[in-house]
Amino acid sequence: MQIKCVGTPNPRQKEFFAARARFVAYGGARGGGKSWAVRKKAMLLALRYPGIRMLLARRTLGEVWDNHILPLQQELAGIARYRDAEKAFLFANGSRLKFGYCDSERDVLQYQGQEYDVIFLDEATQFTEFQFFTLTACLRGTAKCPRRMYLTCNPGGVGHGWVKRLFIDRDYRPGERAADYRFIPARVYDNTALVENDPGYVQMLENLPEDLRRAWLEGDWNAFAGQYFKEWRREIHVLQPFDIPQHWRRYCALDYGLDMLAGLFVAVAPDGCAYVYREVYRSGLIGSEAAHALREAAGTEDIYAWLAPPDLWNRRNDTGRSIAEIFAVGGIQLARAQNDRISGWMDLHEWLRPYDTPQGKAAGLRVFETCTNLIRTLPQLQCDPHRPNDTAAEPHELTHAPDALRYFAAGRPFAPPLPAQKKTALPFALRTGDEETKGGFQQW
């Protein structure tokens, strides 16, 4: 039985078809032929394994219809019939390809209890981590066919963080196996059919602003559309730890709630540059436990100020005491940080903004590579769609460490050093006579 398709797979798409890991992600840049590969892979699996059950999901039902159902109605004509009531293609051999969506967090709950042999998650970075892991629980069955999830993805979106962690950074939690995850990068140049038939699209990607070009053309996972801190560059802002001189002034800025304690220890050098040299990142701590964790992390260090948001001075109804009072009992006298979000973020932009030095690019604030949670979450913050000068509140897990850093930066933006003044020759009439032996130059 022949599958009606246009074109043949390019080398990257062939890798995608042949991958055997439990979770296979394909993409990176735009125009890599991801949707085409997903449809063809689903067709091949349906014909190869009679009775296989598959789910193909995108964020919205409209996207599923436009990107997959409509093309498949032509490509599967005479091979499978589409039943709109079920939103599924039914094959003569009993195989079934169902379509779904997860526009909100609760939408994913409709799949609880269902079983699929293969799940396709198209544009996976548009799904939250909760939606992804909820769907992985549906990946089970007793039929003799593979159990796999295929994902396509571009940098950016609400799911950027978990996709990057699993497939790019390969940073695994207990219970996650590296062998289960395979990433196949693809760029528009790999999609020869698109390059030949629509060179204008490629030119459009090449002419984008730097941050969009890095994400959409180059598939750079450290840059994406909607990224709040576009200044962030790992090669500039992250460095190996070194011994902090004792005379440098040290701060601890913290964001606290039962869901997460994020404490950042920051040392300020005599030249005004700041270094985040330690982090405490723990969930589920009550106030006294949080204070103890920070005090233990500080050890014998002299902390100039413990900076915290004003809401920690609010008295609790159950005890009549504030978190600030509980911290004080634990040996930490908190200082109120400025909490205007917009001005605080603007100050942090200044700290992160790269500037030129004779040695290359530098920034006012740098982070020890051991502060993994700050390094992970700060570049993933997205712009609030309704307030572009503010950060998005979701995913909430990404906000804790950046908020703590904002409390340090608020009210004290970094001013990069002025470039060294060039020495110029004094006009002849203004020379004093000494210049002849000094080369005729003074500061001008």
Q: Rg of the chain over CA atoms, in angstroms? A: 28
Architecture of domain 236-409: 2-Layer Sandwich (3.30)
Coil vs helix vs strand at 149: strand
Entry pTM:
0.62
The sign one gets for the Cα dihedral 100, 185, 399, 281 is positive
Residue 48 has φ and ψ, to the nearest 5°, of: -80, -35
Query: Which among 77-86, 212-221, 383-392 has the top mean pLDDT?
Result: 77-86
DSSP codes, 379-426: GG-BB-SS-TTSB---SGGGSHHHHHHHHHHTT----PPPPPPPEEEP
The mean pLDDT of 96-101, rounded to a whole number, is 96
Task: Judge whether 141 and 54 are in contact, CB under 8 Å.
Answer: no
Distance of alpha carbon 293 from alpha carbon 373, whole angstroms: 17
Domain chopping of the chain, boundaries: 11-217, 236-409
- Fold annotation for 11-217: Rossmann fold (3.40.50)
pLDDT given at position 431? 44
Mean pLDDT over the full length of the chain: 87
pLDDT given at position 399? 94
Res 6 pLDDT > 50: no
The pLDDT tens digits for 10-48 are 888 999 999 999 999 998 766 668 889 999 999 999 999
pLDDT given at position 161? 82
Res 1 pLDDT > 60: no
The mean pLDDT of 330-344, rounded to a whole number, is 96
Confidence at 426, pLDDT banded by 50, 70, 90: very low
The pLDDT tens digits for 58-72 are 999 899 999 999 999
**Span of 65-79, 143-157, 187-201, 280-294 with lowest mean pLDDT:** 187-201
pLDDT given at position 256? 96
11-217 and 236-409 share one fold: no
pLDDT given at position 32? 64
Distance of alpha carbon 83 from alpha carbon 254, whole angstroms: 55
Res 443 pLDDT > 50: no
The mean pLDDT of 107-122, rounded to a whole number, is 92
Confidence at 194, pLDDT banded by 50, 70, 90: low
Beta pairing class for 441-443 and 423-425: antiparallel
Distance of alpha carbon 120 from alpha carbon 303, whole angstroms: 51
- Share of residues in the chain with pLDDT > 70 (%): 86
Res 432 pLDDT > 80: no
Nearest Cα neighbor of 14 from 47, 40, 46 is 40
pLDDT given at position 379? 87
284 or 224, greater pLDDT: 284
The pLDDT tens digits for 127-184 are 988 899 999 999 998 888 889 999 999 887 788 888 998 999 898 888 999 999 999 9
Res 439 pLDDT > 90: no
Confidence at 434, pLDDT banded by 50, 70, 90: very low
